[in-house]
Amino acid sequence: MPDAALEVRGVRKEFGAIVALDRIDLDVAAGEFVCLLGPSGCGKSTLLNAIAGFTRPSAGEILAFGKRVVQPEPARAMVFQEYALFPWMTVRENVSFGLQIRGDRGACEKADALLDKLALRGFGDRYPKDLSGGMRQRVALARALALDAPMLLMDEPFGALDALTRRSMQDELLRIWTELKQTIVFVTHGIEESLLLADRVVVMTYRPGTVKKIVPVALPRPRDEATPEFADALRSVTRLVREEQLRHERDQRA
Q: Which residues contact ligand ADP by CB under 6 A? A: 15, 18, 20, 38, 40-46
In the window 38-57, what residues touch Mg ion (CB under 5 A)?
A: 45
- Choose the one of Mg ion, ligand ADP, none that binds residue 59, judging by a C-beta under 5 to 8 angstroms depending on kind: none
Is 5 within 8 Å of 32 (Cβ atoms)?
yes
- Choose the one of Mg ion, ligand ADP, none that binds residue 182, judging by a C-beta under 5 to 8 angstroms depending on kind: none
CB of 137 to Mg ion, least distance (A): 16
Distance of CA 120 to the CA centre of its chain: 21
Between residues 45 and 137, which has the closer beta carbon with respect to Mg ion? Answer: 45
- Choose the one of ligand ADP, Mg ion, none that binds residue 236, judging by a C-beta under 5 to 8 angstroms depending on kind: none
Between residues 45 and 183, which has the closer beta carbon with respect to ligand ADP? Answer: 45
Instruction: Name 210's Cβ contacts closer than 8 Å, sequence gap at least 6.
Output: 21, 22, 23, 24, 204
How many residues does this entry show for the chain?
254
Report d(CA 8, CA 91) in Å as an integer. 35
Between residues 13 and 110, which has the closer beta carbon with respect to Mg ion? Answer: 13
Phi, psi of 163 (to 5 degrees): -60, -40
For 73: left if phi > 0, alpha if psi spans -120 to 50, otherwise beta; the answer is beta
Report d(CA 123, CA 135) in Å as an integer. 9
Report d(CA 27, CA 16) in Å as an integer. 28
In the chain, alpha helices (H): 44-52, 91-102, 107-117, 133-146, 163-180, 191-197, 228-253
Between residues 38 and 128, which has the closer beta carbon with respect to ligand ADP? Answer: 38
CB of 186 to ligand ADP, least distance (A): 13
CB of 206 to ligand ADP, least distance (A): 8
- Choose the one of ligand ADP, Mg ion, none that binds residue 41, judging by a C-beta under 5 to 8 angstroms depending on kind: ligand ADP
CB of 171 to ligand ADP, least distance (A): 25
Kindly state the number of chain residues that form the binding site for Mg ion, as judged by CB under 5 A: 1
CB of 104 to Mg ion, least distance (A): 32
CB of 96 to Mg ion, least distance (A): 29
Residues that bind Mg ion (CB under 5 A): 45
